[in-house]
Each structure stands twice: as C-alpha cells, then as structure tokens.
Structure 1
Amino acid sequence: MKLVTHYALPALAITFLLSSCGDPGTPNPNQAAPIRAAHVNPYEPGTYAHFKAQKGYPRNYGVWKNEAVLARTNASNSSIRIDLSDQRGYLMNGSELAMDYPVATGTSSHPTPTGNYRIVEKIASGKSSSTYGKIYNASGGLVKSDADSRKDKVPEGGKYVGAPMPYWMRLTWDGIGMHKGNVPRYPASHGCIRTYYKVVSTVYGKTRVGTRVSIVR
C-alpha cells in the first residue's frame, strides 16, 4: 500500500497563499497613487522632430514653420500635400517642408477624394458655396443651419445663404477645394479641405493656378 504523507501549514502561510491568488486584499488608504511618468520630448526644441513629438500631434493645433525654407517658397516652386489620416497639410518647396499645419477634410459621408490635383481657380474673398449653407425664412429667422440647396426647400420669401469660403483654391470643378473654415481636429467638411485660419493666407499667397496638390490617406 502507498503511503501518503500530509503536511500541516501554519495559519499565517495559509492566509498568505489565499491573499496572493487573485484576492487584492484590503486597500491601504495611506498608499500613494502610482506616479505616472511625465511626457518628455527627447528632441531639440525648434526642430521638426521636436514638433512632431509633442503631446497630441498630429491632432493638435500646432503649426510648424521652417522660416528659411518658407522665405524662399513662392508660387513658382511650391506644392501642397494633404494627409487625410493625420488631418494635416504640408506646404512644400520641392522636397523641403516649409510648413506643417492643421486641416479638416471630408466626413465619411462626404469624403475628400485622394489623388493628384492642381489648383484651377483662386478667389481671395467673396466666394461662397452654391450647395451648402443656411436657409432663412421671410422674417430672417434661421430655418436650417446645415442646408443643402439641392435638397432643402427655401420657404416663400426666405433665402439661401451659401457658406463663406474665403481664400478659395479650387481643385475640381465639382466643388472640391481648399479654403478658410472651421478646423476641428477631425474630418468635418462636405469634402473640401478647410485650412487653419492662422496659415490660410500664407498658403494662398504661396500658391497659384497650376500649383500641384496631392491628397493621400
């Protein structure tokens, strides 16, 4: 017959085993909260690497400029790249980056098309959308703030007012372009590329009809 030996464990050891197997035990009210490491940017301030390593990039409102490159960038040597995933625009001089800035592009229901384009029209002021805007009644009251002129009816005596699009830079003849507008840090437009108000005049001034614009995802 096989002999089986039993060993008795002290009560303290049993308590330890129970508390170490999934039982968190009683919280210690005097125990300090765990210390989280602060965000440390390892790159030299002022460099593009430092800018991109900032907390929240690319979905923040930061603008980076290479002042030397930007100074020699003009309508004859510039190009623009739009990144739909990062919601950023890049003003380029050849292969050199002149400026990195926030944009807001089309939503999933009104996507901004990818591809290679050229600016085909520029209008600094007075441009408004013929498709999207607001509808007012005869008394001037707002009926619809996000109206589509192709679908929404204007009440008798009322009017449709197209959304303003200053610094308009048209890319397609079916309504896609770059312009000044509200730039939340997510896709929000009907397909256009809304450009941050702090840089849109610079982008407009550094481009011309014929400037290349690439849109990537």
Structure 2
Amino acid sequence: MRSRIVNPKRRQTRLRSARLALAALAALIAAGDHADAIERRGERAVESIEQRTAGEPIMAIVSLQSQRITVYDANGWILRAPVSSGQRGRETPAGIFSVIQKEAEHYSNLYDDAFMPHMQRITWSGIALHGGPLPGYPASHGCVRMPFDFAERLFDATQLGLRVIVAPSDVAPVEIVHPVLALSNPGAGALAAIRTAEAAEATRKADQAKLAAGTAFRLAAQAMAPVRVAENLKLRAEVQLATAEAALGSAVSAEAKERAERDKAQATAKVGELQAQLAAAKAELQPKLDVVTSAREAAAIAETARAAAAEAARQVARELEPVSVLISRKTQRLYVRQAFEPILESPVTILDAD
C-alpha cells in the first residue's frame, strides 16, 4: 500500500521550481513576441509616397529624436523609415553632410569588420548610412542604421553628393519664394543631354582618327622595308665601286688596268641600277608618309575636340549639381558650394540674429 503523505518542504520546492520554469517560458515567449513586434513595426514603418511618381532623391533628413529618416525629391518627401542612430557616448553627430562614398558590400575597419551593407558614407571619420538591425532605440557606434531592404532601395536611388541632414529634432524643408533668390534654369537638363551626346560623338571621332593614324603608320612601315633594302644594296655597291676605283689607280700592267676598268664599269652600273630602285621605292613610300602626317594631324585635332567636348559636358553636369548655401551666425558669413567645391564666400549682416 502506497503512502499519500507528502513532505510539505518537498512540495513547496516543487511548486517554486514549477513557477520559475513557467516564468522563464513566459519571458522567452514575450521576448520572441517583442522581437517579432519590433520587426513588424519596422516593416510597417517604411513608407513611400503613393499619390505621385517619386523623383530622384535630393535630400535625406535623419531625426535623432524620432529615430526616423525621411527622403525628399524636388517636390516633397518620397520615403520614410525607422533608424537606429549612435548609442550614448557614441552619438551620431548632428549637422549638414553629403554622401561622399558608396559601397554596396562594406566592412567596418573600426569595429571588428562589422558588416555594413549598402553603405553611404557621410564623414571620413566613419559615420555612414547603412543597413543594420533596429532594436527600437539608438544602438549603433555612430552610424545611422536603416532596415536592410530600405538601405538597398535607397542605395540604388541615390548618387554621390546627396545632401544628408542629421537633426536633433524633427525638421522638414520649407519652400521659400523670393524675387531675389537664384532661379533654376529649366533648360539645363536638356543642354546637359546635348553636351553629353556631343562628347560621345567627339570621342567616337577621336577614336576613329586614332585608328586611321595607326593604320596609316602600319602601311608606311610596310612601304619602308623596300627602301631600306635598296639603301643597303646601294651602299654595298658603292663600296665595290670604290674598291674598283682604287684598284684602277694602283694598276700597273695593261692587264690589271683592263680588269680594274671592267670591275669599275660593273660596279658603276650596279650603283645606277640600285639608285633607280631606291628612287622608285621612295616614290612609292612618300604618299604613305604624307598620309601618316595628315592622319596624325587629324587625330590631334580630333583629340583636342574630344577634350573640349568632354570638358563642356562636365561643366554642364557640374551646373546641375545642387547648390548649398550656408549662413553662419557664428562667423557672420555666407558660404556657397556646388559639387563639393566652394564658389562664393562673403560677409553678411544678420538682422535680429537672436
């Protein structure tokens, strides 16, 4: 007969173990649910404009307070996504930056080769936008992490020079209309396309001219071979003629003089024959040399035209780059840059600076 008496202490121990096991299981389930919630929240938080066709991105604003990036084209916002910026002690610096380097597959040289997919660098000290995990709070070493799919999408859409503003709080661009502000040139894009096409055509012509010059030189080199052969044979015949003349001058007997006269006559005839061959070879070569000269001159002219067209295309392309204007309250100066190059700097007076 089995006893039903249970030790109260053992019963309390079993109940305590059961409670701990249930608590641990609940914690794991909650953690999993929390992670899934964060992932779902990140997926839902990625937004894109649907009321119109998105244009080329020209600006991205990262709000450190909201942990969100908003991307703008010329007509307004087009993309939004959550981010994770720098953790405490390694905060992402606020300021106005530009994308200065892009690399689809990048590994950190500062933090144990950490994978930074679709990296878009905004400072040479290591701050960049890239794909990464989003725990829902600032957790990076200073970079701006974005959802992986969003980082790839943004990487494919942007170009070097994209303006990136990192702001402590939520900010948004404001349209300003004023008669003294610089106006955009609506025909600049079409002109850039024309200059690009002209540069491509000039490059094609320069390549053709260079090829023609090379072909002309090869044909002239082939025609030069008979000239060199004739020159060498004529030189050898002239040596024989000089030998015959020397023998004739030193001959004493009639027989020796007759033999020397015969050798001289043969050598003279040979020199005359080879001189005629040489003249014919040179006559055939000269037109080919003239073609080489003309082809090289044409190639030089085409190369000059190519360089000029390429520079014109680059100049128009630079004019399409965004112009950045900064007015510094601290220095009381205005700074204007285009394509990372300073183009104007001037002192200013700020009314009601406070």
TM-superposed CA distance for 1:94, in Å, is: 2.9
Matches within 5 A, 1:1-150: 60-61=41-42, 62-69=45-52, 71-74=53-56, 77-94=57-74, 96-125=76-105, 127-133=106-112
Residue segments in structure 2 that go unaligned for 5+ positions in a row = 1-36, 169-354
TM-superposed CA distance for 1:108, in Å, is: 1.3
**Would you say the 8 A contact 1:132–1:163 is kept in 2?**
yes
Q: Distance in 2 between matches of 1:107 and 1:118?
A: 22
**Would you say the 8 A contact 2:48–2:78 is kept in 1?**
yes
TM-superposed CA distance for 1:184, in Å, is: 1.3
**Would you say the 8 A contact 2:55–2:74 is kept in 1?**
no
From 126, 144, 153, the counterpart of 1:193: 144
Q: Distance in 1 between matches of 2:91 and 2:144?
A: 10
- Which structure features the higher share of helix residues? 2
TM-superposed CA distance for 1:78, in Å, is: 2.2
Q: Residues 72 and 105 (structure 1 numbering): CA distance in 2 closer, same or farther, change over 3 Å?
A: same
**Would you say the 8 A contact 1:79–1:207 is kept in 2?**
no
> 1:80 aligns to what SS in structure 2?
strand
Q: Distance in 1 between matches of 2:68 and 2:111?
A: 23
Amino acid at match of 1:72: A
> 1:116 aligns to what SS in structure 2?
strand
1:20-46: per-residue Cα shift (whole Å, max 9, x none)?
A: xxxxxxxxxxxxxxxxxxxxxxxxxxx
RMSD of aligned alpha carbons: 2.1
Q: Distance in 1 between matches of 2:67 and 2:159?
A: 23
Percent of aligned positions that are identical = 30
Q: Which has the larger radius of gyration?
A: 2
Amino acid at match of 1:87: Q
Q: Distance in 1 between matches of 2:127 and 2:82?
A: 18
Are 1:208 and 2:168 an aligned pair? no
TM-superposed CA distance for 1:95, in Å, is: 5.1
Per the alignment, residue 159 of structure 1 pairs with none
TM-superposed CA distance for 1:67, in Å, is: 3.0
Are 1:178 and 2:178 an aligned pair? no
Scaled by the length of structure 1, the TM-score of the pair is 0.56
**Would you say the 8 A contact 2:82–2:147 is kept in 1?**
yes
Scaled by the length of structure 2, the TM-score of the pair is 0.35
TM-superposed CA distance for 1:72, in Å, is: 3.0
> 1:131 aligns to what SS in structure 2?
coil
> 2:154 aligns to what SS in structure 1?
helix
Amino acid at match of 2:90: H
Matches within 5 A, 1:148-159: none
